[in-house]
Structure 1
């Protein structure tokens, strides 16, 4: 059925008059009448009875009217969604050391339905940049971890994740069910470069600043250092799931604060689309069953009290 003919039919049905319907549709009356005749021919039935005061729906017309309104409404919704898809906007999500990535698929599913014009691109930041690309404006939003210097950023805490020691599989500590961070003191370990955010670097070295070892810039480089250089180091517990491989053992670590998973953005930025992405990620994280050892922090929509974060407002 021709949508233009259906619009004409609905207008005549609602106005009860061909002339008034033509005025409403900004059409001359002959083209309007022709479209109604074509629609009647297509359906094989009469839709209107002509009466002295205008036009009255037949039984068939009364059946068609709600169907026609529904078809026109659906066509309009389809048009709006297609137009929205044509105006694609990109939001770049920074990610540091796998922070919060388990909740991303659920957030993406929601955003595909509610924001058809959104393209979400992942920027995997090096572990030397705890801001996840926010400082260099490579990202609009970041899933990252505390502690680091959060001045100029707005931060929402999503949860906490325990730590594991990454050890060579033949290391004497590799067979342990748990170990204390003090047992790693003085051992060679992978290190972050000088110039990396001081709080971030001290946290991952467990304050063992003098420990020798190779300098790394990514989680993969950390793992290569364990295998090839025989060193150790601290990683989030999720690394044991994402990066399990021969030659490396992951042992839970006690005696060191867990990693705080946060959602961060620039405090001076205001963008409704970035807000929508942030809310979808926070909702997905709060409602997901956390992987073993990962604990939710606070209800969605209420900023967590984050020690050491100089954020002026929640994400």
Structure 2
């Protein structure tokens, strides 16, 4: 068994869907399916029950999943230890400054446990750069939110958060249980500066051109709503001042928490970071 094939199997076993696993691995579905078939032939066991709705693990598949995770973790540990001896035991992580995320705290603890000798440098980015300095070469890996232009990057989704409209608490719409984008037509929304990633700007404007004050950070967004009654979007569950309300927004795609890195970067510390992040956020 090759480590690459085991990574393929773990992706399918965790996603329980060949299409999603192929997207996660940045490959097409047919070679992924063939690789899993060859793995089953090599082992002489059916690992997955296949159906139009997806796949399910067989008893043999469940055993292999546990073993494969252990083997891959040991392989990544070996790569990291070699990198440490070679003097490369440091990684710079970009984090989007959009408020406290308990998942990030769990990830930091898990990464320290796995790699206590690795120096982790953190760079916090404002809301004008969803890649947190990744494109500019300022960080090795970014813990951020999508969407943004993924060209040249590998992106792994970790969590999807529903979003709501941020309003002053005394706004008539703040008393609603749910809003639609049409309810906010004609309102001023906070804007990101020209040059900000187009996909990112479009998402936080609800997919339509808007007008309003230009902001760069979370605090500026909050103040724009407080002082001017500006409308914005926020993932549900974020802590906001009592003077503000967040009303769930129907028909709006969730905000996806992702980890992103340069697709061509072979750094084993990045690969380990991605694997640990995936495990922490999905546990």
> Shift of residue 244 of structure 1?
1.8
1:19-55 deviation per Cα after TM superposition (whole angstroms, max 9, x unaligned) = xxxxxxxxxxxxxxxxxxxxxxxxxxxxxxxxxxxxx
Q: Is the 8 A contact 2:127 2:218 kept in 1?
A: yes
Following the alignment from structure 1 to structure 2, what is the Cα–Cα distance between the partners of residues 111 and 166? 34
In the alignment, which of 239, 259, 262 is matched to residue 263 of structure 1? Answer: 259
Q: Write the deviation string for residues 154-193 of structure 1: whole angstroms up to 9, x where unpaired.
A: 1111121110111011100111121112211210111111
Aligned to 1:232: 231
Whole-angstrom distance in 1 between the partners of 2:134 and 2:100: 16
* In structure 2, C-alpha distance between the alignment counterparts of 1:260 and 1:108, rounded to whole Å: 19
1:49-198 to structure 2, matched below 5 A, reads 89-96=89-96, 98=98, 101-198=101-198
Task: Please report how far the alpha carbon of residue 99 of structure 1 lies from its aligned counterpart in structure 2 after TM superposition.
Answer: 8.5
Gaps (5+ residues) in structure 1? 1-80, 288-315
Measured at CA, do residues 134 and 100 of structure 1 come closer, stay the same or move farther in structure 2, by a change above 3 Å?
farther
Per-residue deviation, 1:279 = 1.3
> How far does the alpha carbon of each residue in 1:295-314 deviate from its partner, in whole angstroms, 9 at most, with x for none?
xxxxxxxxxxxxxxxxxxxx
Post-superposition shift, 1:110? 2.5
Of 248, 253, 258 in structure 2, the residue corresponding to residue 252 of structure 1 is 248
- Normalised by the length of structure 1, the TM-score is 0.59
Partner of 1:77: none
SS at match of 1:280: helix
SS at match of 1:91: strand
- Measure how far apart 1:122 and its partner are: 2.3
Q: Is the 8 A contact 1:88 1:117 kept in 2?
A: no
Give the Cα separation in 2 of the matches to 1:228 and 1:274: 42
Counterpart CA distance in 2 for 1:99 and 1:170 is 24
The answer to whether the 8 Å contact 1:188/1:232 transfers is: yes
Would you say the 8 A contact 1:186–1:208 is kept in 2? no
Q: Is the 8 A contact 2:259 2:274 kept in 1?
A: yes
Task: Assess if the C-alpha contact under 8 Å between 1:185 and 1:208 holds in 2.
Answer: no
DSSP-derived class of the 1:108 partner: helix
Query: What's 1:214 paired with?
Result: 213
CA contact (8 A) 2:98 2:217 kept: no
SS in 2 for 1:216: coil
TM-score by length of 2: 0.65
Separation in 2, partners of 1:286, 1:95: 19
State the Cα deviation string for residues 203-252 of structure 1 (Å, max 9, x = none).
1101231x32100011111111001121111122242xxx3213211111
Structure showing greater Rg: 1
Give, in whole Å, the separation in 2 of the partners of 1:142 and 1:178: 32
Q: Give how far 1:200 is off.
A: 1.1
Match of residue 273 from structure 1: 269
Asked if the contact 1:100–1:144 (Cα under 8 Å) also holds between the matched residues in 2, the reply is no
Are residues 244 and 99 of structure 1, via their aligned partners in 2, closer, same or farther at CA, if it must alter by over 3 Å? Answer: closer
Secondary structure of 1:173's aligned partner: helix
Q: Distance in 2 between matches of 1:169 and 1:262?
A: 31
